[in-house]
Amino acid sequence: MNEIFENLYDMTAFSNIIAEPQFLIMYAIAFVLLYLGIKKQYEPLLLVPIAFGVLLANFPGGDMGVIQADENGMVMINGVMKNIWEMPLHDIAHELGLMNFIYYMLIKTGFLPPIIFMGVGALTDFGPMLRNLRLSIFGAAAQLGIFTVLLVSILMGFTPKEAASLGIIGGADGPTAIFTTIKLAPHLLGPIAIAAYSYMALVPVIIPLVVKLLCSKKELSINMKEEEKKYPSKTEIKNLRVLKIIFPIVVTTVVALFVPSAVPLIGMLMFGMVKSGKNYCFSEKVGEFLFTGEYTQKMDTKGRTIVPAKFREELGTSVVVTRGT
């Protein structure tokens, strides 16, 4: 009977967790990130998947961790060295598990970052920057961080390729960091991906502290919308919608001519921007704009409702409201 209970105990994750208590540290990190993402709403699209992934990968016996291949693509499977790149995808899924299947099919091949960039482009509105091109200076300032980390990393003993992979974290975003690391230093992909997305997700936590240290109460009380009305932009763009279509096409063409290796990322980013409803290129073609989703509005006694000012600017002088199914 004791042997049966011992076997049942060994089948659970408790035996491994007790033998290796460091798993508890990872669980604590995961729960903190889940709390920040769900309760505090700090970048939930980033923190919640990261935290849940940490949980899945650190449950002993779940086979959800990633097995890292060496520089030649060799990995130990059931006591036999195999080349991961010569294995069919169904063998990877069967022998190494779901997480390794996703990792080697979508991430290590460089397929996923451009797809993510297309989504980022669809969610990004470049209108404010196009209205005030001086805002692009803030983006250009990020290059200082890239080269600073690059030089410091080389001085610390990293190779130039490793240093470049580390430097891109502070000057860009997760997909760019992953894409660059796959090309230059694939053995650092795991740590760099976690570092890139973690720092992006924790920006809402860090920024308030920095603001309190560097800004006075008078500066914090400034209403930026009121200031914009007092000091409107001197440069008026007559047809911003057309510019939003031309801008991504021009950027893609220029980047493709000068930096062809960046086309997978920039091209998909700009394609997402063109395809996005924020830029109206497809809806303009048929002369209509379509809102999707659910909106809760109050009606007055005469059956009237108020359309938000931002919507009125885009809808124009006439609009048709229908009840969806």
Q: Where are the domains of the chain?
A: 2-112, 113-132+233-283
pLDDT > 90? residue 155: yes
Distance, in Å, from the CA atom of 148 to the CA atom of 138, rounded to the nearest integer, reads 16
User: Considering the chain, what percentage of its residues have pLDDT values greater than 90?
Assistant: 8
pLDDT > 70? residue 239: yes
| Tens-place pLDDT, residues 46-67 | 788 888 888 888 888 777 877 8
Residues in the chain: 325
Distance, in Å, from the CA atom of 111 to the CA atom of 113, rounded to the nearest integer, reads 6
Helix ranges (H only) for the chain are 2-11, 14-19, 22-38, 44-57, 89-96, 98-102, 112-123, 127-131, 136-155, 160-171, 174-184, 189-201, 203-214, 217-220, 224-230, 240-258, 263-275, 281-285, 309-315
Task: Please provide the average confidence, as pLDDT, over all residues in the chain.
Answer: 79
pLDDT of residue 61: 76
Q: Quick one: 137 exposed, middle or buried, by C-beta within 10 A (0-12, 13-18, 19+)?
A: exposed
Contacts of 149 (CB under 8 A, 6+ apart): 163, 166, 167, 169, 170
More confident residue, 200 or 157: 157
pLDDT (mean) for 79-88: 85
pLDDT > 90? residue 254: yes
pLDDT of residue 203: 75
- pLDDT band (50, 70, 90) for residue 225: confident
pLDDT (mean) for 259-288: 70
pLDDT of residue 288: 46
- pLDDT band (50, 70, 90) for residue 31: very high
0.85 exceeded by pTM: no
| Tens-place pLDDT, residues 88-112 | 888 888 888 888 888 888 888 888 8
